[in-house]
């Protein structure tokens, strides 16, 4: 009932009420360690896909990350036929909500994107839940485009586990890329276009503010989409 209300309100761009009850834990950033293995990606733009709960927040953070030239909300893991918001949010597909990030490694490397992702976006100890969003479609995952990204991601997760910064086991998987399906236009740049939306105010805005506070050198006040 609560999730159905959230879906309906989101699609109509109306304020969501009653979506985050007192049982939802408060969110706070974690200063994830700098990666011991620095990504060596060569010249030219690269892409990576990140799943970390509602794609509104993931996209908003990466859209304001310096060196990111594009961030697109979408669906990953399932079929083209099921790549629709109303179907994905039923939790009955193989899709996760995800964001395809295009970035310039001369400005921001993949390992740095991993660090800020786990600092201000996703809880790596949570399975099918991120903040108020519950269900397999909200699972966190690192969706890698190539073998080097996979190596960097796997070693970084191992480093995170050894750091002791998280009190519970880290469960975020590394997943080989499959077809990414961009989400409906209403979900693109959602936070920028709907800054007063209750979800954006409660969950997304603090993450963008944490990006600016923890990584001022990687924060950009301008979205790549203008």
User: Computed over its alpha carbons, how large is the radius of gyration of the chain?
Assistant: 16
* Closest among 195, 161, 205, 163 to 27, alpha carbons compared: 205
H or E element at residue 197: none
Could you list the active site residues? Answer: 54
Long-range CB contacts (within 8 A, 24+) of 156-163: 156/35, 156/37, 156/111, 156/114, 156/115, 157/124, 159/33, 159/35, 159/36, 159/37, 160/32, 160/33, 160/118, 160/124, 163/32, 163/33
* Closest among 102, 77, 92, 94 to 180, alpha carbons compared: 77
Across 77-195, the runs of DSSP E, i.e. the strands, are 96-103, 129-130, 133-134, 141-144, 174-176, 180-182
Taking residue 31's Cβ as centre, other Cβ atoms within 10 Å add up to: 14
CB 100 within 8 A of CB 71: yes
Q: Do the bridges between strand 129-130 and strand 133-134 make them parallel or antiparallel, or are there none, so unpaired?
A: antiparallel
């Amino acid at each position: 009932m609560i999730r159905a209300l959230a879906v309906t309100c989101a699609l109509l761009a109306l304020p969501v009420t009653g979506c985050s009850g007192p049982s939802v834990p408060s969110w706070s950033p974690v200063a994830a360690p700098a990666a011991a293995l620095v990504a060596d990606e060569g010249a030219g733009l690269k892409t990576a896909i990140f799943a970390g709960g509602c794609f509104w927040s993931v996209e908003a953070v990466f859209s304001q990350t310096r060196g990111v030239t594009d961030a697109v909300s979408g669906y990953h893991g399932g079929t083209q036929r099921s790549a629709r918001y109303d179907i994905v949010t039923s939790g009955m597909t193989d899709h996760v909500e995800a964001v395809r990030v295009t970035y310039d490694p001369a400005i921001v490397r993949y390992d740095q994107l991993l660090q800020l992702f786990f600092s201000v976006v996703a809880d790596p100890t949570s399975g099918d839940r991120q903040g108020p969003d519950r269900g397999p479609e909200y699972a966190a995952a690192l969706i890698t485009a190539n073998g080097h990204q996979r190596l960097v991601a796997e070693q970084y997760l191992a480093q995170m586990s050894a750091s002791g910064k998280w009190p519970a086991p880290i469960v975020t998987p590394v997943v080989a890329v499959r077809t990414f399906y961009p989400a409906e236009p209403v979900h693109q740049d959602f936070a920028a276009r709907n800054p007063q939306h209750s979800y954006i105010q409660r969950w997304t805005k603090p993450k963008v503010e944490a990006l600016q506070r923890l990584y001022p050198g990687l924060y950009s006040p301008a979205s790549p989409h203008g």
